[in-house]
């Protein structure tokens, strides 16, 4: 009941609040932080003394997600992120990240707290998978056992590529414009980028620069299925922040 009242009180105002190291604003998706005054979720952010910024996401039913970020740009997830079943309230999904924001573990639990499946990662590549058959009837998240396409060198190399090669558009600099552009593209079985398109736009110049960065990226390591290289689709967020 307290969580519902908390959400209701915040919903009457779209004003961002800073008080006692706390930030509150609306978002559209707890898994992809884009501030949206019309969003259905409230994010409460607490600056912790030793663990970065703790984000607590609520909807009208209560807490739906919580996790840590390295700053209030929310670009890099760190430590453990928890996602709760929105209807029954139990902890349903866990994702763990290292201090550089790379995913290291992903798992799903049932309402009794038993693990249904888990995967481990290194440099964005699956290094291990385990499914617990006795709990598989409770499974709601399905994943492919194939290896996904990854940027050559992993997540750290990708972040370095973006930071080193981004050319902030002059008009966006002049108007102090920031934003997030999401690009969808295909990584061919040869590791080449094609069929890129903007699926979440910002401004025209930011969209153009995001497309340039994706299309100019070096050869990727293609996805594999049963040991065979295959074409695959990727989505990447390009964050423009001054």
Tens digit of each residue's pLDDT (9 = 90 or more) over 94-133: 999 988 788 899 999 999 999 999 999 877 677 888 899 9
Rg of the chain over all Cα atoms, to the nearest angstrom: 19
Q: Which of 213, 218, 226, 180 is nearest to 199 (CA)?
A: 180
Q: pLDDT confidence of 5, banded at 50, 70, 90?
A: very low
What is the CB-side half-sphere exposure of residue 101 using CA atoms within 13 A? 15
Average pLDDT over residues 73-78: 84
SS3 136: helix
pLDDT(49) > 90: no
Who wins on pLDDT, 18 or 63? Answer: 63
| Domain ranges (residues) in the chain | 2-138, 150-240
**pTM exceeds 0.85, yes or no:** no
Least-confidence region, from 73-77, 161-165, 220-224: 73-77
At residue 154, the pLDDT reads 82
Residue by residue, DSSP assigns 43-75 as EEEEE-SSS-EEEEEEETTEEEEEEEESSTT--
Q: pLDDT confidence of 14, banded at 50, 70, 90?
A: very low
- For residues 199 and 183, give the distance between their C-alpha atoms in angstroms, rounded to a whole number: 6
Write out pLDDT tens, residues 178-194.
998 989 999 999 999 99
At residue 187, the pLDDT reads 94
CATH architecture of 150-240: 2-Layer Sandwich (3.30)
């Amino acid at each position: 009941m307290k969580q519902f009242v908390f959400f209701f009180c915040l919903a009457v105002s779209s004003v961002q609040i800073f008080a006692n190291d706390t930030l509150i604003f609306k978002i559209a998706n707890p898994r992809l932080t884009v501030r949206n005054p019309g969003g259905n979720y409230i994010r409460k952010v607490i600056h912790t003394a030793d663990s970065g910024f703790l984000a607590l996401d609520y909807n009208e039913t209560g807490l739906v997600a919580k996790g840590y970020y390295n700053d209030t740009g929310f670009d890099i997830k760190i430590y453990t992120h928890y996602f709760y079943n929105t209807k029954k309230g139990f902890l349903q999904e866990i994702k763990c990240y290292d201090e550089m924001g790379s995913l290291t573990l992903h798992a799903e639990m049932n309402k009794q707290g038993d693990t249904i499946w888990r995967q481990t990662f290194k440099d964005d590549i699956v290094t291990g998978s385990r499914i617990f058959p006795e709990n598989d009837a409770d499974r709601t998240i399905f994943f492919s056992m194939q290896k996904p396409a990854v940027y050559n060198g992993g997540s750290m190399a990708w972040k370095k590529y973006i930071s080193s090669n981004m050319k902030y558009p002059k008009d966006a600099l002049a108007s102090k414009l920031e934003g997030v552009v999401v690009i969808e593209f295909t990584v061919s079985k040869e590791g080449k980028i094609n069929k890129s398109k903007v699926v979440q736009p910002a401004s025209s110049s930011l969209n153009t620069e995001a497309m340039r960065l994706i299309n100019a990226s070096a050869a990727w390591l293609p996805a594999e299925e049963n040991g065979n290289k295959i074409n695959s689709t990727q989505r990447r967020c390009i964050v423009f922040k001054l």
